Amino acid sequence: MNRTGSTDSKHSLDPASRIDHPAGMLSQPYHLYIERTDAARNMARYYALEISTTLFGDTCLTRRWGRIGFGGQTMAHHFADESDAVMMFLTLARQKRARGYRPRP
pLDDT in tens, 3-30: 555 555 555 555 544 444 445 566 778 8
42-68 per-position pLDDT tens digit: 999 999 999 999 998 899 999 999 999
Residue with more model confidence, 7 or 72: 72
> Alpha-carbon distance 35 to 4, whole Å?
57
**Inside any domain, residue 20:** no
pTM greater than 0.95: no
Number of structural domains the chain divides into: 1
Q: Which three-class secondary structure state does DSSP give residue 41?
A: helix
Q: CA-CA distances (angstroms) from residue 39 to 17, 67, 68?
A: 58, 13, 13
**Inside any domain, residue 46:** yes
Task: Provide the CATH number for the domain around residue 36.
Answer: 2.20.140.10
pLDDT at 101 over 50: yes
> Alpha-carbon distance 48 to 66, whole Å?
9
**Inside any domain, residue 47:** yes
> Alpha-carbon distance 84 to 90, whole Å?
10
**Inside any domain, residue 49:** yes
